């Protein structure tokens, strides 16, 4: 399974592609889509959308996972972030990808075991979990890799639960 993790932002949108082969996690790519301060907001949304579509085309992930922001410093920031998330989800859906969303608490818990871990703790654990020789920069990229890892952990758990449920149903029918 190949996952595109996304940490949405109107100035910097982090992305990371992680592939699971057996029990091993491989990092294919990470980085940040940076918009320019002098761009209009619709132009920023277009850049984020276009760049994500290009990344999806180049790396062919099987699923997209995005951080689900549940609060912002002010209403204007929340609205802008919602629009960025919309453009991001649209890029995933228009590319034919299933999407998953995770709260920062779920992501941090999955990566560090502590839901209130700071960005540096997450970055350190991402580096270790992916056996990276260099630390992912910027934080938006390491956060995006964390989203991808969270999805991979979650997908394995959901698959095991589904298998147990199916097995239980077969046993009851006999």
Residues acting as catalytic residues? 7, 67, 140
Q: Distances in Å between the alpha carbon of 128 and those of 36, 41, 57, 167?
A: 32, 36, 28, 35
Distance CA 66, CA 85 (A): 8
Distance CA 134, CA 82 (A): 32
From 138, 153, 148, select the one nearest 14 (Cα to Cα). Answer: 138
From 38, 59, 50, 28, select the one nearest 141 (Cα to Cα). Answer: 28
- Is residue 73 a contact partner of residue 109, using CB atoms and an 8 Å limit? no
């Amino acid at each position: 399974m190949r996952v595109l993790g996304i940490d949405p932002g109107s100035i910097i949108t982090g992305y990371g592609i992680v592939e699971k082969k057996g029990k091993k996690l491989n990092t294919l790519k990470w980085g940040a889509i940076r918009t320019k301060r002098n761009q209009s907001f619709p132009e920023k949304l277009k850049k984020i959308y276009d760049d994500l579509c290009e990344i999806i085309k180049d790396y062919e992930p099987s699923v997209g996972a995005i951080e689900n922001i549940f609060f912002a410093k002010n209403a204007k920031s929340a609205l802008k972030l919602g629009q960025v998330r919309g453009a991001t989800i649209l890029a995933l859906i228009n590319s034919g990808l299933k999407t998953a969303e995770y709260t920062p608490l779920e992501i941090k818990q999955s990566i560090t075991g502590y839901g209130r871990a700071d960005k540096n703790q997450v970055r350190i654990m991402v580096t270790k979990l992916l056996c990276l020789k260099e630390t992912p920069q910027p934080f938006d990229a390491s956060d995006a890799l964390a989203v991808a890892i969270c999805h991979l952990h979650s997908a394995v758990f959901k698959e095991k639960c589904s298998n147990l449920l199916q097995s239980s149903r077969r046993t009851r029918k006999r």
